[in-house]
Structure 1
């Protein structure tokens, strides 16, 4: 398998929706609300936010769609670059935050092991 995700996989979207219509409609309603053009947040900024989220969730299809949408909405390459580094900083920060959790869990496990042994 040379490519895990392929653009042609998107052709399965209608089938996925058909297989789970209620869930699909709920998802599509949320997606529609998030991507609306009449919100307080301008379209360009919605797309830059969407790119940053897509980078952290690592959704190739979302990165593709929202980067194209951002270009149409007037975003610049510099804005895309800043969104990349903002997302990466926050993603790294989340790793540190989860590292604090791991450290506490380790301490709790070590304490429990000491009580047992």
Structure 2
């Protein structure tokens, strides 16, 4: 089954991949340091990986970063987050970010659809 996307999330994620490839090539040492920082920050500690990714998703909404929404939504699901947990994060993001954060919930919807299509293709 093919899913038709209303919006640009697949293109957004492809654009992000191209940008990452450019930075890895142009500045490998800086990119490696950045990647290590991210990995260390999101590694389980007082909070588990799923919780940290849910926090990152909420922050992605309040900062209105559609690239971040796509990445962290997928990482939330990969870490075992449920859709009700993701909806709770969206609610909290709206509390903290108001209407601007609420408008970015559309990006969550697009990313969920993209994730579902990828899962369907793997099945």
TM > 0.5? yes
Residues matched between the structures, number: 90
Query: Any idea what SS the aligned residue of 2:96 has?
Result: helix
TM-score after normalising by structure 2? 0.60
Query: Higher relative contact order at CA 8 Å, sep ≥6: structure 1 or structure 2?
Result: 2
Question: Which of these residues, 16, 27, 45, is aligned with residue 34 of structure 2?
Answer: 27
TM-score after normalising by structure 1? 0.63
What pairs with 1:94-113 in structure 2 (closer than 5 Å)? none
- CA displacement 1:47-91 (0-9 Å, x = unmatched): 110100111122222211211221122212111111111112112
Distance 1:19 1:57 in 2: 27
Shift of 1:32: 1.0
Unaligned runs of 5+ in 1: 93-117
Distance 1:26 1:58 in 2: 25
Name the larger-Rg structure: 1
Question: In structure 2, what is the equivalent of residue 48 of structure 1?
Answer: 54
RMSD between aligned residues: 2.4
Question: In structure 1, what is the equivalent of residue 71 of structure 2?
Answer: 65
